[in-house]
């Protein structure tokens, strides 16, 4: 017998996708935020393919859970992870188009991962921070990613 408040357990064949899904469905704020941060920066197409059909289930499971955050709500990571999965599922284009919507995309990490190619680095126009000129290795789109900082480091992305 299933209790009415119990959720049906969903398991995925892809082990990374399954671990992320279990964390996102856990109703544990720490696990949810950690998994959301991973999904927000995820480029593995097999994992994205496995997770994308479960966006509605993830949204329902996370509804009403206080994720915390001081200067920035940690819900930002979950919202962007869900946006990324929806975007991927709809096949709306290259994932780099989402860069301006998540201030935690560090171009140096994307270069290390092979997602971006470094074209040049110089000072930001306003003199605050570095500006990385990069190109997406998937679609060729050129970007200007400027290092910003207030109470935490973040990146401003603009199409060039």
pLDDT value of position 22: 96
pLDDT (tens, 9 = 90+) of the chain, 160 residues, equals 444 444 567 899 999 999 999 999 999 999 999 999 999 999 999 999 999 999 999 999 999 999 988 767 899 999 999 999 999 999 999 999 999 999 999 999 999 999 999 999 998 887 778 899 999 999 999 999 999 877 778 899 999 9
pLDDT value of position 2: 43
Residue with token string 């408040």: 5
Q: What is the dihedral of CA 59, 100, 35, 18, to 10 degrees?
A: 80
How many whole angstroms separate alpha carbon 100 and alpha carbon 159? 9
Q: How many residues does the chain have?
A: 160
pLDDT value of position 63: 94
Residue 15 half-sphere exposure, CB side, CA atoms within 13 Å? 0
C-alpha R_g of the chain? 17
pLDDT value of position 68: 86
Q: What is the 8-class DSSP label of residue 156?
A: E
Using CB atoms within 10 Å of the CB of residue 139, give its burial: 0 to 12 exposed, 13 to 18 middle, 19+ buried. exposed
How many whole angstroms separate alpha carbon 62 and alpha carbon 27? 6
Could you give the residue ranges of the DSSP H alpha helices within the chain? 15-24, 29-40, 45-51, 55-62, 75-90, 107-112
How many whole angstroms separate alpha carbon 67 and alpha carbon 75? 6
pLDDT value of position 4: 46
Question: What's the pTM?
Answer: 0.88
Sheet bearing 116-123, strands edge to edge: 116-123, 130-136, 142-149, 153-159
């Amino acid at each position: 017998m299933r209790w009415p408040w119990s959720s049906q357990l969903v398991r995925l064949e892809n082990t990374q996708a399954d671990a992320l899904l279990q964390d996102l469905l856990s109703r544990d704020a720490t696990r949810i935020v950690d998994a959301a941060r991973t999904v927000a920066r995820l480029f593995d197409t097999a994992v994205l393919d496995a997770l994308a059909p479960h966006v509605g289930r993830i949204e329902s499971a996370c509804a009403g859970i206080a994720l915390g955050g001081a200067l920035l709500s940690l819900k930002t990571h979950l919202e962007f992870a869900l946006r990324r999965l929806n975007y991927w599922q709809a096949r709306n284009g290259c994932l780099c188009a989402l860069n301006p919507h998540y201030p935690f995309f560090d171009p140096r990490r994307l270069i290390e991962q092979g997602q971006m190619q470094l074209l040049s680095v110089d000072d930001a126009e306003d003199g605050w921070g570095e500006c990385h000129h990069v190109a997406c290795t998937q679609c060729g789109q050129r970007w200007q990613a400027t290092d910003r900082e207030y109470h935490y480091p973040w990146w401003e992305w603009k199409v060039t």
